[in-house]
C-alpha cells in the first residue's frame, strides 16, 4: 500500500497550482459575478498541455496518468471550479470516449487536437425529458447513404457553443431502447447544428452550458463513434470516468473552503480570542479536514484504478458521491465559520458553497450514484 | 545558436524575515525559488531559441538542492542543465563564483550568448554577470530588456533611468536581463514538467573544471562581510493635495522655502 504521490504527480500539482493561482485566481470572483466564460483560459490550459495529461504521446498527449489528471482538476477547481468542470468535461467526457472507442482516423482527427488543446470538447447526452433516465431521449439519427441525419436537441451542454468537437448521443433504433442509442462526433459549424439558450445558474457561473439543436444535421457516417447501438455503453463508461473529474472538482472546492475557514478562524477575534479557540469551531474544522481527506483518498483511488486498468465504476461513483456531499457540507460549514461575512459576496466562501452544489447533481445525481454502488454490491 | 543561462537558487524573499537580534536572514522554513530575474533571462533565452534555433543550457553553481531550480528551468523549456557543485566552492563571493561559472562556460565551449538575471534577490550585487564576462574576456551588456540577433551581432535595448540605449555587440557576449514584459517568464508546461522530472542533471565538481584551487570558494573570495543591517526605514513623504495645482504649488514652495531648500 502506498499513499505517496509520485514525483511526477507532485510536480504536476505544483505546476498547475502555480498556473491557477497566478492566472485564474485574480479573475475568478469577477468571472463568476459577471457569468463570463473565458475561452482564453481554456486555450492557455490547452497550451500548457493539461488537456493531454492522461493520453499517450502518439495522440498529442503527455503520457501521464489519471491521478495526475485528477490532481490538475482539483488544483484548478480549488481556485476556479467553473474552469475545473470545463477541463473535466473536455478530458473525460469528450476526449476519452474517442480515445477508448474511436478508430485510428478518429483519434488522429479529433483526439489529437483535443489532447494538444487546439480545440475544445463537449459531451451531449442530457435532454429535457432524459436526465437520470438517459436512454429516454428523443434525438434520432437516421442513416442516409454515407451519412447520418440527426434531429433533436440536447440541454445543459457544458462548453456548448464554444466546443469545436461534440460527442453526442442519438437513437439509431428507437424501438431497441438502450441498445438503440449511438454515439457521434459532431463538429461545430456542421450545417443543421445550432445553439439555443444559455443556462443561467446558481454556481459555476463562469462555465457555459448551452442547448444544442440538430435540425436535419448531416454527419458523415465516419463520425459514428463505436458501433451502432453501442451508445448507451459508451455514455455510461464515459461517465464512470467523468465522475473522477467531478469528485476531484469537489475536492478542490472543499480544500479552498477549508483553507479559508482555517485562516479566518485564526484571525477573527470575538470575546477577546480568535474564534478557533472555541471547540465549537475547532471541532468543526477537524470534521471538515477529515471528510476532505476521505474524499481525496476515494478520488485518487478511483483515478489510480482507472490508470491501472482495474475496475473503477463503483469506485468512481463512491468517490463522486462522497466527495460532492463532503464539499457541500464543508463549504456550508465554512460559510458558518465566517459568520455574516460568509454570507457576503465580498468573501470567497459563498461562491464555494454555490459551486459545491452542482457536484451532487451532474454526471449522475448522487441518487444515481447510490444506484450504481448498490447495483454493484447487490449483483 | 548556443545559449547559456546562469541561474541561482535563492530564498523566496517575499517570505523572508530578518532576525532582529543578529540582523541576518532567517532562512529556515523559507521556500527556495529560482531567482526571479534569472527567469526573465531564461525567457529571453527561450525566445531567442524560438526565433533563431539552437539550444538553451542552464548552469547553476550551488548545493545539491539547486537541482530543483534547474528542474524548474527544464520544465519551462530549457534543453539541458548542469549543476556545478563541490564543497570546494563553499563560501564563494561574487569573484570566486564568476570565476567558477566562467570555467564551466569555457568547458561547455562555443557559447554564442550567456545570459544572467540582472541581480540575485538575496545578494543584490549585480556583479556575477559582469565579472563572468571579464573572466571570459567577452563583451557585456547589462540591464537588457530586449535582445535581437543577426549573424554574430546582438542588438540590445538597455534600460536606464532616462530611457533606453540601443547597443550592438559582437557575439559571444554576456547579457544581464531585467524584469520586463518582453520577457515575462512562461509557465512550465505539462510535458516540460514531466521531462524535467525524468532528467538526470549532471554535476560538475572542481575536478571537472580547469581551475586554480586558490581562486575557488572561501580562499578565492577577497570580499569580507563586516556587518549586515537593515537600513533605517525611509520616513513617509508628505502629499500636498489641494483643490487646484496653483494652491498646491504655492504651499509646496512655502514649505521648501521654510526648509531653506529654495
Ligand atoms: C451545470 C450543469 C452542467 C451539465 N453538463 C452536462 C453536460 O455537459 N452534458 C450532459 O449531457 N448533461 C449535462 N448536465 C445534465 C446533468 O447531468 C443532469 O442534470 C443530471 O444527470 C440530472 O438529470 P435531470 O436534471 O434531468 O434530473 P432528473 O433526472 O429529473 O432528476 C430529478 C431528481 O430525481 C432523482 N431521480 C431521478 N431518477 C431517480 C431514480 N430512479 N431513483 C431515485 N431518484 C431519482 C434525481 O436524483 C434528482 O434528485 C449538466 C447539468 C448542469 C446543471
Ligand atoms: C444578511 C444579513 C443581515 C443582517 N442584519 C443585521 C441587522 O439588521 N442588524 C444587526 O445588528 N446585525 C445584522 N447582521 C449581522 C449578524 O447578526 C451577524 O453576522 C451575526 O450575529 C454573526 O456575527 P459575525 O458575522 O460577526 O460572526 P462572528 O461573531 O465573527 O462569528 C463567526 C463564527 O464564530 C462562531 N463563534 C463566535 N463566537 C463563538 C463562541 N464564543 N463560541 C463558539 N462559536 C463562536 C460563530 O458562531 C460563527 O460561526 C446581519 C447579517 C447578515 C449576513
Q: Give the pLDDT confidence score for residue B229 in this predicted structure.
A: 75
B128 touches chain A (CB under 8 A): no
* pLDDT tens figures, A111-129: 999 999 999 999 999 999 9
Q: Which ligand 2 atom minimizes the distance to the CA of A341?
A: 25
Determine, yes or no, domain membership for A350. Answer: yes
What is the C-alpha separation between A371 and A132, in angstroms, rounded? 11
> What is the A289 CA–ligand 1 centroid distance (Å)?
29
Average pLDDT over residues A23-50: 97
Q: Which ligand is nearest to the CA of A280?
A: 2
A212 and A303 co-located in one domain: no
A255 and A361 co-located in one domain: yes
Interface confidence, given as ipTM, is 0.84
* pLDDT tens figures, A87-114: 999 999 999 999 999 999 999 999 999 9
Determine, yes or no, domain membership for A71. Answer: yes
We report the CATH number of the domain holding residue A172 as: 2.40.110.10
Backbone phi, psi, residue A160, to 5°: -60, 140
pLDDT at A45 over 80: yes
Q: Name residues contacting ligand 1 (CB within 6 A).
A: A 89, 123-126, 131-132, 156-158, 201, 204, 209, 358, 361-365, 367-368
Residue bearing cell 548542469: B82
Write down which residue in A59, A94, A120 finishes a domain: A120
pLDDT tens digits for chain B (262 residues)?
999 999 999 988 777 777 777 666 677 778 899 999 999 999 999 999 999 999 999 999 999 999 999 999 999 999 999 999 999 999 888 999 999 999 999 999 989 999 999 999 888 889 999 999 999 999 999 999 999 999 999 999 999 988 999 999 999 999 999 999 999 999 999 999 999 999 999 999 999 999 999 999 988 999 887 877 777 788 888 889 899 999 999 999 999 999 888 8
A173 and A254 co-located in one domain: no
Work out the mean pLDDT of chain A and round it to a whole number.
97
A114 and A128 co-located in one domain: no
What is the C-alpha separation between B88 and B216, in angstroms, rounded? 7
A22 touches chain B (CB under 8 A): yes
Q: pTM for the complete prediction?
A: 0.89
A156 and A250 co-located in one domain: no
What is the C-alpha separation between A344 and A330, in angstroms, rounded? 17
A314 and A368 co-located in one domain: yes
Number of domain units in chain A: 3
Q: Give the pLDDT confidence score for residue B25 in this predicted structure.
A: 66
Determine, yes or no, domain membership for A2. Answer: no
We report the CATH number of the domain holding residue A329 as: 1.20.140.10
- Residue A229 class from Cβ within 10 Å (0-12 exposed, 13-18 middle, 19+ buried)? middle
Q: Which domain holds residue A109?
A: 7-120
Write down which residue in A77, A104, A120 finishes a domain: A120
A216 and A345 co-located in one domain: no
Q: Give the pLDDT confidence score for residue A1 in this predicted structure.
A: 79
**Which residue, judged by its Cα, is nearest atom 10 of ligand 2?**
A340
Chain B CA closest to residue A6: B197
For chains A and B, CB pairs below 8 A equal 41
Backbone phi, psi, residue B94, to 5°: -65, -30
**Which residue, judged by its Cα, is nearest atom 20 of ligand 2?**
A340
Domains of chain B: 2-215 (3.40.50.620)
Q: Which ligand is nearest to the CA of A278?
A: 2
Considering only CB atoms, A49 lies closest to which of B71, B190, B197, namely B190
Considering only CB atoms, B191 lies closest to which of A18, A22, A49, namely A49
A205 and A324 co-located in one domain: no
A104 and A153 co-located in one domain: no
A226 and A284 co-located in one domain: no
Determine, yes or no, domain membership for A1. Answer: no
Let me know if A10 is a catalytic residue: no
A7 touches chain B (CB under 8 A): yes
Average pLDDT over residues A140-167: 98
A37 and A96 co-located in one domain: yes
Write down which residue in A202, A231, A260 finishes a domain: A231
Alpha-carbon distances, residue A286 vs A336, A342, B20, B58 (angstroms):
15, 19, 36, 45
Considering only CB atoms, B187 lies closest to which of A7, A12, A18, namely A18
A108 and A129 co-located in one domain: no
A339 close to ligand 2 (CB < 6 Angstrom): yes
Centre a 10 Å sphere on the Cβ of residue A270 and count the other Cβ atoms it contains. 10
Amino acid at each position: 500500500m502506498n499513499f505517496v504521490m509520485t514525483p511526477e504527480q507532485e510536480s504536476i500539482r505544483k505546476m498547475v497550482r502555480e498556473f491557477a493561482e497566478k492566472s485564474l485566481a485574480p479573475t475568478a470572483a469577477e468571472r463568476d459575478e459577471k457569468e463570463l466564460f473565458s475561452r482564453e483560459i481554456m486555450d492557455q490550459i490547452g497550451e500548457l498541455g493539461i488537456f493531454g495529461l492522461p493520453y499517450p504521446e502518439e495522440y498529442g498527449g503527455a503520457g501521464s496518468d489519471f491521478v495526475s489528471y485528477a490532481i490538475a482538476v482539483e488544483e484548478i477547481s480549488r481556485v476556479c471550479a467553473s474552469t475545473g468542470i470545463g477541463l473535466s468535461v473536455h478530458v473525460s467526457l469528450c476526449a476519452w470516449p474517442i480515445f477508448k472507442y474511436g478508430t485510428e482516423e478518429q483519434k488522429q482527427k479529433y483526439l489529437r487536437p483535443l489532447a494538444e488543446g487546439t480545440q475544445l470538447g463537449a459531451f451531449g447526452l442530457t435532454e429535457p425529458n432524459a436526465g437520470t433516465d438517459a436512454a429516454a431521449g428523443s434525438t434520432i439519427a437516421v442513416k442516409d447513404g454515407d451519412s447520418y441525419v440527426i434531429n433533436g436537441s440536447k440541454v445543459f451542454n457544458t462548453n456548448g457553443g464554444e466546443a469545436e468537437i461534440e460527442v453526442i448521443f442519438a437513437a439509431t433504433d428507437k424501438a431497441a431502447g438502450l441498445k438503440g442509442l449511438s454515439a457521434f462526433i459532431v463538429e461545430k459549424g456542421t450545417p443543421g447544428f445550432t445553439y439555443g439558450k444559455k443556462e443561467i445558474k446558481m454556481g459555476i457561473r463562469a462555465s457555459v452550458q448551452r442547448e444544442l439543436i440538430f435540425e436535419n444535421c448531416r454527419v458523415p457516417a465516419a463520425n459514428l463513434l463505436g458501433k451502432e447501438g453501442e451508445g448507451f455503453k459508451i455514455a455510461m463508461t464515459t461517465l464512470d470516468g467523468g465522475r473522477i473529474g467531478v469528485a476531484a472538482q469537489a475536492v478542490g472546492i472543499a480544500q479552498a473552503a477549508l483553507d479559508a475557514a482555517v485562516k479566518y478562524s485564526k484571525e477573527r477575534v470575538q470575546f477577546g480570542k480568535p474564534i478557533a479557540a472555541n471547540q465549537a469551531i475547532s471541532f468543526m474544522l477537524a470534521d471538515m479536514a477529515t471528510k476532505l481527506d476521505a474524499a481525496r483518498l476515494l478520488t485518487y483511488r478511483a483515478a489510480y484504478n482507472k490508470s491501472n486498468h482495474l475496475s473503477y465504476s463503483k469506485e468512481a461513483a463512491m468517490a463522486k458521491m462522497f466527495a460532492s456531499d463532503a464539499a457541500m457540507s464543508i463549504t456550508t460549514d465554512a460559510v458558518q465559520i465566517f459568520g455574516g461575512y460568509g454570507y457576503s459576496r465580498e468573501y470567497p466562501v459563498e461562491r464555494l458553497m454555490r459551486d459545491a452544489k452542482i457536484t451532487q447533481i451532474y454526471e449522475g445525481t448522487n441518487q444515481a450514484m447510490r444506484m450504481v454502488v448498490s447495483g454493484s454490491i447487490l449483483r | 545558436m548556443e545559449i547559456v543561462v546562469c541561474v541561482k537558487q535563492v530564498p523566496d524573499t517575499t517570505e523572508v524575515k530578518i532576525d532582529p537580534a543578529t540582523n541576518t536572514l532567517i532562512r529556515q522554513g523559507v521556500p527556495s525559488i529560482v531567482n526571479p530575474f534569472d527567469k526573465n533571462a531564461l525567457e529571453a533565452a527561450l525566445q531567442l531559441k524560438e526565433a533563431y534555433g539552437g539550444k538553451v543550457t542552464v548552469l547553476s553553481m550551488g548545493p545539491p538542492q539547486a537541482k530543483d531550480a534547474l528542474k524548474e528551468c527544464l520544465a519551462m523549456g530549457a534543453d539541458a542543465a548542469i549543476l556545478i557543485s563541490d564543497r570546494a566552492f563553499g563560501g564563494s563571493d561574487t569573484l570566486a563564483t564568476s570565476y567558477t561559472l566562467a570555467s564551466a562556460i569555457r568547458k561547455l565551449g562555443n557559447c554564442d550568448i550567456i545570459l544572467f538575471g540582472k541581480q540575485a534577490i538575496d545578494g543584490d550585487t549585480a556583479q556575477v554577470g559582469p565579472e563572468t564576462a571579464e573572466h571570459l574576456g567577452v563583451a557585456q551588456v547589462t540591464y537588457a530588456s530586449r535582445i535581437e540577433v543577426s549573424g554574430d551581432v546582438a542588438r540590445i535595448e538597455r534600460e536606464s533611468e532616462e530611457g533606453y540605449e540601443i547597443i550592438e555587440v559582437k557575439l559571444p557576449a554576456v547579457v544581464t536581463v531585467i524584469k520586463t514584459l518582453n520577457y515575462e517568464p512562461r509557465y512550465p508546461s505539462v510535458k516540460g514538467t514531466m521531462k524535467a522530472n525524468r532528467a538526470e542533471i549532471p554535476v560538475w565538481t572542481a575536478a571537472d573544471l580547469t581551475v586554480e584551487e586558490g581562486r575557488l570558494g572561501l580562499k578565492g573570495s577577497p570580499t569580507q562581510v563586516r556587518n549586515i543591517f537593515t537600513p533605517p526605514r525611509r520616513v513617509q513623504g508628505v502629499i500636498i493635495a489641494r483643490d487646484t495645482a496653483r494652491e498646491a504649488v504655492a504651499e509646496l514652495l512655502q514649505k521648501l522655502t521654510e526648509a531653506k531648500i529654495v
